[in-house]
Structure 1
Amino acid sequence: MAPNSSISSSLSSVISPLPPRPSQLSSSSHITKTYRQASQLFLTRRLPEALSTILPLVSPPPLDQPNQQYEPAPVIKASKSSRVKVWSLYLTILNAILELDSDEGKAAFGTQDWRALCTKVREGEVWEEVVRNGYHGVEGDVDADVVINLATILLAHAKSQTLNQKRLENWLAASRSSPPNLTSDHFSDPIPRRYSSPASGKRPPIASGTDTPHDLNSRIKILELYTLHVLLRNNEWDYAKEFISVSPILDEERREAFLQALQSLSDEAKREEELRREREEKIKKDIEEARRLRRENEERERRRMEEERSKREEGERVKTEDFGVSRPVSPVSVASSGSSGGGILKKGKKIGGGTKAGGERRVSASGGKPVVKGRVGMVLMNLRGLVESIAVAFKTNPYVLYRMLAFIVGLVLLFAKKKVRERVVKVLGDSWGKVKGTVGMGTKVSYI
């Protein structure tokens, strides 16, 4: 029993992990310190300082000299938990930056840098950056929590979900469980490599291996993002249902929950489509109704204008008939009337003055009544036309009424001054005196 115990103790000492090197400890402390500093800056909404603080951890050091050896990003040397925290914070900072207003983002980062950050996220370049700088270019080695953050930020800001779907399918195909690599590289490299490579087909084989309950939950979250969000955004409902139905990771309860959620999303999408169609139809009906009302108004206005024009023409015709303008007078009738008139005048002279006066009285008695009626009708028609024209003018241009009211108010204000009234009365008195003198002179001349 003693030899066996000694052998087991020696084996345990052989396979026990080696103590960390001082350089690794200093690097880990530096990463932890930088992560805390960037977290504090992010929590205080100092996004430019937070981004500049976290960038040296996720980017390889710049090559200052031509012969300088390439070094990976410091985040590669961190532990899994630290690596996940650093990448999650970096993606969270990028998401907060893209949620800023355009003017605010340009003011904080500058126009060129702001556009570069937006392009990197919206075009999906950030996924390639994470794989290249954090996982030696091996897409299947990306931690599940980092994949969740990448898929979420692309769902929120990417122009199209095609790249997001392709990346998730590649990760699901490349992250199948495989036996651990126990070569010497496994101890020197903090990220163990896998023998499997990304599948070349369009659809990924469904991953079935999980190491811990946390890995299982993370993989289920990735399946949720892939089937209930990314595939649906790309209008692949049937494939999402098929993927959920054959996934070995999901038990019956989770599979039923996924299918119910998919059905609810499908019903909601159909309702939204119906509502959108109803809104479009309502808008079309409103447009047609507006066009019909406009045509009716135009037709009503045209009929009204025709009626007004016909009324004006009828009034003008009545006025011309009252004065006899529409009856042409021929030269023969003028001559005959002149000759007959001459005979009558001669007869009147022969008969005497009484006969002439009686003839004039008969003519005035017989022809005076129609002439008076015509003049009264003409005055009434003129007044009616004036009123109609004023009404039309007020309808078409209400500012005429405002100008007339302003003119009347101006006259009232003008005559409110005593000096103006006295001057107007004086001018009217002088004018009336001149008129009276002229009329008196004319009366004297006619009497003479």
Structure 2
Amino acid sequence: MAFDGSYTATLSPTVSDSFSSHVLSNSISSLASSTSSRPSSNNISKTYRQASQLFLTRRLPEALSTVLPLITPSAENADVNGLSEPAPIVRASRSTRIKVWSLYLTILNAVLELDADEGKDAFGTQEWRSLCKKVRDGDVWEEVVQFGYHGNEGEVDSDVVINLATLLLAHAKSQAVNQKRLENYLAASNSPNLDISQRFEAAKSPRLSSRHRRSPSKGAASGADTPRDLNARVKILELYTLHVLLRNNEWDYAREFINVSSVLDEERREAFLQALQSLQEEQQESERMEREEKQRQEEQLQKDIEESRRLRAENEARERRRLDEERAKREGSEVDYGIEKTQNTSTPRSKPRTGSNGSALSRSAKSSVSKEKKTVAPRGLGARAVMIIANLRNLIEKMGSSFKANPMLLMRLVVFIISVIVMFGRKGIRERIQQILGTGWNKVKSTAGMGVKVSYI
């Protein structure tokens, strides 16, 4: 899997000579076309600055439409073989290419962070949904590889790979596509490109010669020929092992990949393993807390259900007792069974003493009891209400006539009410009155309790 950078030595001499002559011819053609590509590079830099300014002013549709011509191949200038002109970004320098792709991915991230209504108003419903789908499904990675690097996964700049992985981490539906793309990139950048037919084809076609302008030793060993490349490689491994794999719940595979990685030294490997262990402990702790919270909510729900059942049973029992008491009171008010029983029980005992006069006494007792029942029989609820209303009306009429006859009485009443209000407005008087009323009420309750006990006895 690892190469030392001199993989051409393993080829046959004939193939090696052909490869060397092809690289030489490719370099000459690149040198010849450098003067013609300078105006294009200047145009790319100018367009990049314009798109950056539009993005900084939050004019996202204009920024996207400005940067798209730089990364989209033109199909108008196709040759006889049907090959289209590559995107202008292919002819740019490495730093310019990274800046343009980073700006494009940053614009896409800002577009997906918009609200649905705001995004539809800015781009239109169809285009906004298309942009969201391209990012969330991971198709933007394939777009970058095809338009910017001629479909060669291992030739993608490491900074662009980092931005792509970060974008998919933030907005992709699933991290399976992100994991697959990172694995393809890591595998391709660790292996040399031995497809010599493409190089001969590029030498024949000047439109495709820009595909191989990069150094052929790129990615020969570990994709980290310079300290900058090494740092970028470590960053990619961090995204892959500590973010993407963990989002896919592949903890064991992440730990194994860190242990066998040839890019990480002992210090970095130990730091990665500690970070992985810390993240796993945090996840386990969060899962435990979620389980406890769920169990607590279930227990609280069960307690609430039991409490509601208990309260309902108490209310039903209280309602039944109230209905029984009302029924007993209603039956007691209609018929006084206690008097009848005492009269019935007393009449047989008096029979042997009075003889024939017992029947007359019993009849007279019954008639008196019936008369007493008639007089004691309470009035109905409607009659009571009518009587109360009539009394209130009479009282109001009398008060009105009194006020008409003596207006000073009304003034005295008003002055009395105002004085009462002022008196009750003082806190000390209120507390004294409350104390007196409380003491009186306690005495009334104790007196009523004693009366109830005596009547019960």
**TM-score (normalizing by structure 1):** 0.67
Match of 2:226 among 192, 209, 212: 212
Moved more, 56-65 or 99-108: 56-65
Letter in 1 for 2:92: A
56, 72, 75: which one pairs with 1:43? Answer: 56
Q: Distance in 2 between matches of 1:370 and 1:416?
A: 40
Q: Does 1:230 find its partner at 2:244? A: yes
Aligned residue number for residue 37 of structure 2 = 24
Q: CA deviation at 1:81?
A: 1.1
**Which residue of structure 1 lines up, in the alignment, with residue 127 of structure 2?**
113
Relative CO higher for 1 or 2, CA cutoff 8 Å, sep ≥ 6?
A: 2
> Counterpart of 1:18 in 2: which secondary structure?
helix
Q: Is the 8 A contact 2:90 2:210 kept in 1?
A: no
The alpha-carbon deviation at position 379 of structure 1 amounts to 3.5
Tell me whether 225-234 or 276-285 shows the greater mean CA deviation.
276-285
**Is 1:265 aligned with 2:265?**
no
Identity %: 52
TM-score, scaled relative to structure 2: 0.65
Partner of 1:428: none
Greater displacement, 232-241 / 282-291: 282-291
Superposed displacement of residue 208, structure 1: 2.7
Change (3 A) 1:179 1:50: closer
Go from structure 1 to structure 2 and tell me whether the alpha carbon gap of 1:125 and 1:72 turns closer, same or farther (over 3 Å shift). same
What's the CA shift for 1:23? 2.4
Bigger-Rg structure (1/2): 1
Question: CA 1:319–1:235 in structure 2 vs 1: closer, same or farther (change >3 Å)?
Answer: same
The answer for the alignment partner of 2:145 in structure 1 is 131
Tell whether the 8 Å contact from 2:189 to 2:222 is kept in structure 1 after alignment.
no
Q: What's the counterpart of residue 182 of structure 2?
A: 168
Flag structure 2 segments of 5+ consecutive residues without an equivalent: 1-26, 342-356, 405-457
Counterpart of 1:53 in structure 2 is 66
Residue in structure 1 matched with residue 448 of structure 2 by the alignment: none
1:179, distance to aligned residue in structure 2 (A): 8.1
> Does the alignment pair 1:189 with 2:213?
no
What is the Cα deviation at residue 210 of structure 1?
1.7
Kindly indicate whether the alpha-carbon contact (under 8 Å) linking 2:223 and 2:229 is maintained by their aligned counterparts in 1. no
What are the equivalent positions in structure 2 for 1:301-312 lying under 5 Å apart?
301-312=315-326
Aligned partners of 2:303 and 2:158: how far apart in 1? 57
Task: Quote the Cα distance in structure 2 between the aligned partners of 1:126 and 1:206.
Answer: 26
Deviation at 1:102, TM superposition (A): 1.2
CA distance in 2 between partners of 1:26 and 1:164 (Å): 36
Question: Aligned in 2, Cα 1:326/1:88: closer, same or farther, shift over 3 Å?
Answer: farther
* 2:212 match: secondary structure: coil
Residue identity matched to 1:35: Y
Query: How far is 1:191 from its partner?
Result: 3.5
Match of 2:264 in 1: 250
For the 8 Å contact 1:42–1:50, the answer to whether it is kept is: yes
Aligned partner letter, 1:285? E
Q: Deviations over 1:351-376 (max 9, x none)?
A: xxxxxxxx99x958x85477547754
Cα pair 2:154 2:188 within 8 Å, conserved:
yes
Corresponding position of 2:330:
316
> Cα RMSD between the aligned structures?
4.2
Task: Go from structure 1 to structure 2 and tell me whether the alpha carbon gap of 1:289 and 1:375 turns closer, same or farther (over 3 Å shift).
Answer: farther
Aligned partners of 1:206, 1:241: CA distance in 2, in Å? 25
Tell me: CA distance 1:370–1:207, structure 2 relative to 1, closer, same or farther (3 Å): farther
Residues 20, 195 of structure 1: alpha-carbon distance in 2 compared, 3 angstrom cutoff: closer
Paired AA for residue 323 in structure 2: R
Post-superposition CA distance 1:129-149 (Å, at most 9, x none): 101111111111111111100
| Cα distance in 2, alignment partners of residues 37 and 54 from structure 1 | 9
* Structure 1 unmatched ranges of 5 or more: 1-14, 197-204, 328-343, 345-358, 391-406, 423-448
Query: Does the aligned pair in 2 maintain the 1:165–1:230 contact within 8 Å?
Result: yes
1:189 deviates by 2.3
Tell me the SS of whatever aligns to 1:178. Answer: coil
Distance 2:334 2:69 in 1: 102
Secondary structure of 1:70's counterpart equals coil
Do structure 1's residue 80 and structure 2's residue 101 form an aligned pair? no
Residue 167 of structure 2: which of 144, 153, 159 is its match? 153
Distance (whole Å) between structure 1 residues aligned to residue 272 and residue 121 of structure 2: 44
Name the SS for the 1:60 alignment partner. coil
The residue type equivalent to 1:53 in the other structure is T
Q: CA deviation at 1:76?
A: 1.1
> How far off is 1:321 after superposition?
2.6
Residue 311 of structure 2 corresponds to which residue in structure 1?
297
Give the deviation of 1:314 after TM superposition: 1.3
Distance 2:332 2:150 in 1: 104
Change (3 A) 1:415 1:236: farther
Q: Aligned to 2:252, what secondary structure does the other structure show?
A: helix
CA contact (8 A) 2:189 2:220 kept: no
Closer, same or farther: CA 306–64 of 1 in aligned 2, 3 Å: farther
